[in-house]
Amino acid sequence: MRPFTYERAHSPAEAAALASRTEGAKFIAGGTNLLDLMKLEIETPTHLIDVNGLALDKIEPTPDGGLRIGALVRNTDLAADERVRRDYALLTRALLAGASGQLRNKATTAGNLLQRTRCPYFYDTNQPCNKRRPGSGCAAIGGFSRQLAVMGTSEACIATHPSDMAVALRALDATVETVRPDGTMRSIPIAEFHRLPGDTPHIETALAPGELITAVTLPKPLGGTHVYRKVRDRASYAFALISVGAIVRQDGSGRVALGGVAHKPWRVEAAEADMPRGAKAVTAQLLAGARPTQQNAFKLRLVERTLDAVLNEARG
């Protein structure tokens, strides 16, 4: 691990200002991903700004009937919150499908959104990786790609986003609230928060340098039956091969988002009109234009079969 300096921030605006004027600075909260990356020298911050002391750990109702989740709310606390379990069960289910109990106790709402890909070549510093070292190439293209993306890929990167929580937030139409280094606030719809890789896979979100996530807000509850199903190589403590998060109303309409297929949680709103017609029709639109590799083409069929199971479960 490379040497770094450390300080505690006293307010969100101060943290953002500090980060923007300190070359190589990074925020740290739970540290469940960042510390691993620092030990491997994939992330090499020169300065850590500890945001754990900021009062961003509350879950509060919003005036329009939704919920505002502080950036520092731990994944365990969010999953267990009575209001979340009752009104946003998709979020609870997605959270509990991720990581392990110990990691969820430390991991925060904002950190979960910002976690880095688990592409094996990203973690192997002997291999070329445009995300880790821009311009170095992509060892996954033509390499071991079973886990990697089938949608929204580019010639530069075919990595997936690893978060389960983000898939639920995408289906729920969450908004990410931030503070910028000049102290102004911003609201970013979750659909625009994560980016596709394009030519710049190292730029993963819409955040500007120094911008700090302060909260995630959920609109008022949608009702319906909430199902999150994650398909993975072992029953727990594994990232998704694919996952399906769905909200299904009694008339069969609803929403669906996918994990494990793209560089961001994958949702195609136009496909949802076909939910009453069944999984085949929805999947055809969700995965239109897919560019799988030989090793991960199985994901296309797996999405359809998993969505079929999810819709059946939701309809009882």
User: Rounded distance, CA 41 to CA 67, Å?
Assistant: 37
Residue of the chain from 69, 157, 188, 247 that contacts ligand SF4 (CB under 6 A):
157
Kindly give, in sequence order, each residue whose CB lies less than 8 Å from that of residue 244, ignoring residues fewer than 6 positions away: 227, 228, 229, 256, 257, 258, 259, 303, 306, 307, 310
Q: Rank residues 87 and 204 by Cβ distance to ligand SF4 and give the closer one.
A: 204
Q: Where are the alpha helices (DSSP H) in the chain?
A: 12-21, 34-39, 75-80, 82-87, 89-96, 101-106, 109-114, 165-171, 190-193, 279-286, 298-314
Q: Tokens 């055809």, residue?
A: 284
Q: Tell me how far, at minimum, the Cβ of 134 lies from ligand SF4, in Å.
A: 9
Contact present, 67 and 218 (Cβ < 8 Å): yes
- d(Cα 206, Cα 211) in Å, to the nearest integer? 10
Task: Please give the Cα distance from 69 to 85 (Å, whole number).
Answer: 14
Among 117, 163, 178, 225, binds ligand SF4 (CB under 6 A): 117
Give the β-pairing of 175-179 and 185-189.
Answer: antiparallel
Residues in the chain: 316
Q: Which is nearer to ligand SF4, 70 or 259 (CB)?
A: 259
Q: How far is the CB of 45 from ligand SF4 (least distance, A)?
A: 19
Judged by CB under 6 A, the stretch of 10-18, 92-100, 123-131, 208-216 that binds ligand SF4 is 123-131
Out of 30, 66, 111, 201, name the contact with ligand SF4 by CB under 6 A.
201
Angle at 132 between CA 129 and CA 135, to 5 degrees: 60
33 binds ligand SF4, rule: CB under 6 A: no
Q: What are phi and psi of 190, to 5 degrees?
A: -60, -30
Among 27, 88, 122, 239, binds ligand SF4 (CB under 6 A): 122
**Is residue 150 at the binding interface for ligand SF4, with CB under 6 A as the rule?**
no
Please give the structure tokens belonging to residue 178. Answer: 């931030």
Distance CA 43, CA 62 (A): 36
119 is a contact residue toward ligand SF4 (CB under 6 A): yes
Question: What minimum distance in Å lies between the beta carbon of 252 and ligand SF4?
Answer: 37
> Considering only 16-24, 75-83, 128-136, 229-237, which stretch makes contact with ligand SF4 by CB under 6 A?
128-136
Q: Is 239 in the site for ligand SF4 (CB under 6 A)?
A: no
Q: Of these, 54, 138, 174, 176, which contacts ligand SF4 (CB under 6 A)?
A: 138
Toward ligand SF4, which CB reaches closer, 139 or 190? Answer: 139
139 binds ligand SF4 (CB under 6 A): yes
Size of the site for ligand SF4 (CB under 6 A): 15
Q: How wide is the angle at C-alpha 106 spanned by C-alphas 246 and 257, nearest 5°?
A: 15
Q: How far is the CB of 276 from ligand SF4 (least distance, A)?
A: 36
Shortest reach from residue 302's CB to ligand SF4, in Å: 20
Stretch that binds ligand SF4, among 26-34, 46-54, 124-132, 206-214 (CB under 6 A): 124-132
Q: Which is nearer to ligand SF4, 130 or 283 (CB)?
A: 130
Closest CA to 88 of 107, 74, 114, 67: 67
On whether the CB atoms of residues 171 and 255 are closer than 8 A, the answer is yes
Instruction: Report the nearest approach of ligand SF4 to the CB of residue 41 (Å).
Output: 15
Q: Interface with ligand SF4 by CB under 6 A: which range of 137-145, 182-190, 207-215, 224-232?
A: 137-145
Provide the binding-site residues for ligand SF4, judged by CB under 6 A: 117, 119, 121-122, 129-131, 138-140, 148, 157-159, 201
